[in-house]
Structure 1
Amino acid sequence: MQTVFIAGATGYLGRHLCSEYRKRGWHVRALVRDPGRARQLDADELISAEATLPHTLKGIMDGADLVISALGITRQAEGLAYWDVDYQANLNLLDEALRAHVPHFAYIHVLNAGQMAQVPLVAAKMAFVTSLQSASIASSVIAPSGYFSDMSDFLTMARSGRVWLFGSGAHRINPIHGADLAATAANAIARGQDWLDVGGPDVFSQSDLAKAAFAAVGKPAKITRLPDWLRKVALVLLPYLTPRRIHGPAQFFLTALGLDMVGAPHGTRHLEAHFAAITGQKLH
């Protein structure tokens, strides 16, 4: 039986990766920082360690056939910054994988990173990808467009009665469900694919997303379009006006809102059905 070591196992995608590899008959070894968050995690082994502390990683990948890292932080807390986790912690994992002679390392990145290099979160991820690709190990980089879970902000705004968009709302995205992404990533890794830009089966404009959210909550669509220069001004001012834990993720999301985030379509799960399952509305 092959063994996969999954970092970031208790996150949204990590949980789906654990389930996918268990379904495929792999022995799943999951790295968990907080065992309390590992309830109902579909894994054979739970490894409690801190990826930011290299000495805690010694030996934990021995015998593994594959390492997958979905490790990263969205909100900077506990004194940790993106460079501490998205770069250095992943580099610590890579160093241990090399020491343990693991043959393959896969990393969950972000689509269109090159167009968001000025965003600290993305810059840290890009720096790690550079290190990974130059290391003496087979590698796969999976770059998703966005997750279904990321679209919950549209539902939140729709429930409040109004969705706010920047510009025309024409920028497009094809978000993907975590289970579909886990299966697609596993297939790409099995093929030895070195890079995959990936999204879900359906492409939406931001205006389409707003309308889908209103339909899911059963309210008439009320969309206010703000001038895009406000988004650009916010990107400049947020680091000066808000704490790092707020402006860090905001910089990423505001930058992504100004781009088309469309990856190669994969998966069978549809966002409208996901919204309907959350709200209890019937699809028409």
Structure 2
Amino acid sequence: MEKPKKVLIAGASGALGFEIVKYMSSQGYQLRVLTTSDEGKEKLKPYCNEIWKADASKETSKIKDITAGVDTVVSALGNSVSLFTPNDRSFYEIDYQSNKNLLQDAERNNVKRFVYISIKGADSNKDYNVANAHKLFEQELKASSLQYTILRPVGFFSGIHDLAIMAKRKLIPIVGDGSATTNSIHHKDLAKVVIRYVDSGPEVIEIGGPQIHTRLEMANMIKEAIGGKIIKIPEIVADAGLALPKFFEDFHDKLDYFKYITTRDMIGEKNGTTTFKEYLDNLDKSELP
């Protein structure tokens, strides 16, 4: 299959975006990348000559014609869902507005295709603020003139990093009985999945990793690798906590979504080779706060 003339990767210096950049660079793709920081620019220099620095959510003049001459846009733009990472901007600004601005530029420049990394739960009947921003952009993308593929990962191993941090602090909380299942994926494996759909693919696909585990099984693997005590929190207790006044809106929204994903089966198409145990075995425990 002939490779596209040029691919724009947004969110290029993030954990997933950077893996996409490295892999596509190794495969000979022509790349243009978008990052928001000088640190990101330095990180990307070995892999790409066309590096744009801008906040796509508000610096629209700085991203004007960023998609000119581009065949496919790959967006890994997204706010952190970690409970331990405070966000200086809202999910609406990053996950919706940034991507909408890129999409509008892509339509003006007759870009053929847009690959968007969304989130499992974007199609939920309940409007979780974390997932709702993705849902809003998915609607924009579906209504656009571009061909598209929306990837909804069921979860990243790095997204379970919060439990590893808690384990180092001696507690591993589980909401409910831990019977809900998932097949989370390593972001390096997901990067290879993304590239599969750069030229063509289904409109929406839910992506998972190679193995399915219950949340309790994963908690026990974390306990074995790091230590800590597993604490089961009844859903009614978690709901009571979520009903408290929202002094910290960002934290409350993340906690609400955390409860949602950890008490429901989150299964996607099996991909990749890296297991959760391998991820834990290679985790640098000294870097956990």
Whether TM-score is above 0.5 comes out as: yes
Alignment of 1:82-93 (within 5 A): 82-93=91-102
| 1:138 equivalenced with 2:150 (yes/no) | no
* Match in the other structure for 1:260: 265
More helix by share: 1
| 1:64 equivalenced with 2:73 (yes/no) | no
CA distance in 1, matches of 2:160, 2:224: 14
Alpha-carbon contact 1:235-1:254 (below 8 Å) kept: no
- Structure 2 counterpart of 1:228, from 226, 235, 243: 235
* Match in the other structure for 1:210: 219
- Alpha-carbon deviations, 1:53-93, whole Å to 9, x = none? 22221121111111011112126644x32222211211100
Query: CA distance change for structure 1 residues 27 and 189 in 2, over 3 Å: closer, same or farther?
Result: closer
Q: CA deviation at 1:49?
A: 1.9
AA matched with 1:256: I
CA distance in 2, matches of 1:145, 1:58: 33
Alignment of 1:1-284 (within 5 A): 2-41=5-44, 42-52=47-57, 53-74=59-80, 77-78=87-88, 80-115=89-124, 117-217=126-226, 219=227, 222-237=229-244, 240-279=245-284
AA matched with 1:70: A
CA distance in 2, matches of 1:174, 1:153: 17
TM-score by length of 1: 0.90
CA distance in 1, matches of 2:99, 2:258: 22
Alpha-carbon contact 2:5-2:71 (below 8 Å) kept: yes
- Alpha-carbon deviations, 1:114-143, whole Å to 9, x = none? 226421121111011011011011011010
- Alpha-carbon deviations, 1:160-203, whole Å to 9, x = none? 33322121111111111111101112113333322110010011
Structure 1, 173-182 or 38-47: larger mean CA deviation:
38-47
Alpha-carbon contact 1:76-1:244 (below 8 Å) kept: no
Alpha-carbon contact 1:19-1:43 (below 8 Å) kept: no
Query: CA distance change for structure 1 residues 81 and 259 in 2, over 3 Å: closer, same or farther?
Result: same
**Runs of 4+ in structure 1 displaced over 3 angstroms?**
75-78
Q: CA deviation at 1:244?
A: 2.4
Alpha-carbon contact 2:207-2:270 (below 8 Å) kept: yes
- Structure 2 stretches lacking a partner, 5+ long: none
AA matched with 1:5: L
CA distance in 2, matches of 1:161, 1:63: 52
Give the CA RMSD over aligned residues. 1.9
Aligned-pair identity (%): 27
Q: CA deviation at 1:3?
A: 1.2
Query: CA distance change for structure 1 residues 116 and 233 in 2, over 3 Å: closer, same or farther?
Result: farther
